């Protein structure tokens, strides 16, 4: 598939030698009938060329909004980027002209969405939907564009690609539809592929196939991948690094192996405890995380996870911890990519992480604080829903 992987587009040749994508202190707000929703609250991260990065969190944690903000695809006029910078391949995306931004979408940075049923246009053929991407970015003639569409469909493992160009989305199965979506994203050989919950809407049996496919095509085309999911199980075998998001903040980041072995943030601990793992046998109890994420229209002064956190201490309720080396009160600056960072005043130890609960002595006081806070939050919700 050399036609799709363009060697000159190799991101590592950039002058500054930095990352392919740099996001710094990104902030996004939505206006809604119940007030301003602070969806993303100062998120900073990097994606390197050819890297597979996982972004994990519950729905509403800001992970999808972050990816839409990068491509300036936030729903207008409700969504607004209120601060920060996004730099892709040396270009400031937030100040790029509309036409240049349009051309960058689909060519340099492509996206795969959650539900392939609703994300494909139901009234045009998939051939048309693939060809139009090529024609939006190149001057290729229709025949050549169609040829490229066929090659890309073959790359994603769609059998009988040529004949299926004439088919409509509803004539495909869910898994095949998602393959078409992936082909659509890859057809221009992008440097960065953002996959937003690519397997959530699919049957469990298909999920692994699609994840394998994404990993394989990323390798073959040299694209970096930002894999967004609520399911740690999805990223486990796939990504090099993971960052965990909660209430519009990145609360922990590390290499995948490190994060699974030594989670520090209580939220990550909770996420890990809530997925079944075969390697620990039947001895381990599945623990759901109690409570709900905070109301993003009125973020608490302290750590947003504190109301649900068994590790919470007094300081958690008043001061939001910065993302730093675990146990350090200073925000981490200038650390190497892949360094383990967590935003927590009272990170879990390995033993606590394995047990899923804080060591003895902590519990009662923190539980009380948490309960008080939950009650306050509920009252606030009840009075002004």
Nearest-approach distance from CB 278 to other proteins, in angstroms: 28
Only one of the segments 47-55, 233-241, 352-360, 365-373 lies at the binding site for other proteins (rule: CB under 8 A); that segment is 365-373
The nearer residue to other proteins, 241 or 273, going by C-beta atoms, is 273
What is the closest distance, in whole angstroms, from the C-beta atom of residue 32 to other proteins in the complex? 11
Q: How far is the CB of 55 from other proteins (least distance, A)?
A: 17
User: CA end-to-end span of the chain, whole Å?
Assistant: 54
Per-residue exposure over 196-219, b if at least 16 CB sit within 10 Å of its own CB, e if not? bbbbebbeeebbebbbebbbebbe
Does residue 118 touch other proteins according to CB under 8 A?
yes
Which residues between 275 and 314 bind other proteins (CB under 8 A)?
290-292, 307-308
**How many Cβ atoms from other residues are within 10 Å of residue 34's Cβ?**
11
Part in contact with other proteins (CB under 8 A); list of ranges 16-24, 53-61, 115-123, 294-302: 115-123
Residue 377 interacting with other proteins (CB under 8 A)? yes
Question: What's the closest the beta carbon of residue 65 comes to other proteins, in angstroms?
Answer: 13
Angstrom distances, CA of residue 79 to CA of 29, 73, 74, 98, 170: 6, 9, 5, 17, 31
Toward other proteins, which CB reaches closer, 52 or 188?
A: 188
Q: Which long-range contacts (CB under 8 A, 24 or more apart) does 283-286 make?
A: 285/356
The least distance separating other proteins from the CB of residue 238, rounded to whole angstroms, comes to 22
Check residue 59 for interaction with other proteins (CB under 8 A). Answer: no
* Rama region for 198: left / alpha / beta (φ>0; ψ in -120 to 50; rest): alpha
- Binders of other proteins among residues 179 to 238 (CB under 8 A) are 181, 184
Q: Is 382 in the site for other proteins (CB under 8 A)?
A: yes
Rounded to whole angstroms, what are the CA distances from 29 to 22, 36, 385? 20, 7, 19
Tell me the window of 38-46, 127-135, 214-222, 295-303 that interacts with other proteins (CB under 8 A): 127-135
> What are the beta bridge partners of residue 26?
43
Q: Which of 9, 131, 133, 227 binds other proteins (CB under 8 A)?
A: 133
**Binding of other proteins by 110 (CB under 8 A):** yes
* Cis ω for the linkage preceding 77 (within 30 of 0): yes
Per-residue burial over 229-258, b = 16 or more CB atoms within 10 Å of its CB, e = otherwise: bbbbebbbebbbbbbbbbbbbbbbbbbbeb
Q: Is 385 in the site for other proteins (CB under 8 A)?
A: yes
How many angstroms separate the Cα of 264 from the Cα of each of 192, 276, 325, 335, 352?
A: 29, 19, 10, 18, 9
Give contact residues for other proteins (rule: CB under 8 A).
71, 73, 75, 102-107, 110-111, 113, 115, 118-124, 128, 132-133, 136-137, 168, 170-171, 181, 184, 290-292, 307-308, 367, 370-371, 373-375, 377-379, 381-382, 385
């Amino acid at each position: 598939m050399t036609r799709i992987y363009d060697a000159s587009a190799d991101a590592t040749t950039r002058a500054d030698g930095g990352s392919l994508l740099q996001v710094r202190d990104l902030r996004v707000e939505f206006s809604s009938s119940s007030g301003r929703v602070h969806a993303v609250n100062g998120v900073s991260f990097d994606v390197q060329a050819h890297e597979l990065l996982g972004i994990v969190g519950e729905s509403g944690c800001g992970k999808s909004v972050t990816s839409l903000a990068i491509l300036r695809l936030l729903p207008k006029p409700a969504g607004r980027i209120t601060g920060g910078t996004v730099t892709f391949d040396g270009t400031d995306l937030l100040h790029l002209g509309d036409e240049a931004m349009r051309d960058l979408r689909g060519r340099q940075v492509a996206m795969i969405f959650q539900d392939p049923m609703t994300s494909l246009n139901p009234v045009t053929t998939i051939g048309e939907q693939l060809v139009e991407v090529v024609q939006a970015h190149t001057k290729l003639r229709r025949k050549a564009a169609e040829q490229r569409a066929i090659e890309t469909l073959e790359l994603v493992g769609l059998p009988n690609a040529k004949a299926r160009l004439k088919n409509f989305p509803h004539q495909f199965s869910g898994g095949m539809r998602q393959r078409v979506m992936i082909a659509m994203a890859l057809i221009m050989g992008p440097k960065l592929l953002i996959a937003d919950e690519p397997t959530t809407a699919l049957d469990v049996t298909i999920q692994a196939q699609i994840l394998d496919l994404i990993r394989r095509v990323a390798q073959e085309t040299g694209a970096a991948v930002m894999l967004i999911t609520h399911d740690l199980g999805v990223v486990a075998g796939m990504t090099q690094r993971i960052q965990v998001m909660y209430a519009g903040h990145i609360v922990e980041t590390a290499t995948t192996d490190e994060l699974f072995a030594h989670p520090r943030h209580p939220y990550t601990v909770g996420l890990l405890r809530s997925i079944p793992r075969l390697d620990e046998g039947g001895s381990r109890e599945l623990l759901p995380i109690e409570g709900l994420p905070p109301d993003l229209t009125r973020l608490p002064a302290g750590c947003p996870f504190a109301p649900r956190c068994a590790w919470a201490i007094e300081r958690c309720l008043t001061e939001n911890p910065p993302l730093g080396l675990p146990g350090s009160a200073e925000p981490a600056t200038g650390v190497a990519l892949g360094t383990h960072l967590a935003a927590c005043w009272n990170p879990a130890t390995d033993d606590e992480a394995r047990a899923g609960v804080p060591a003895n002595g902590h519990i009662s006081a923190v539980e009380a604080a948490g309960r008080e806070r939950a009650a306050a939050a509920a009252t606030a919700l009840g009075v002004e829903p």
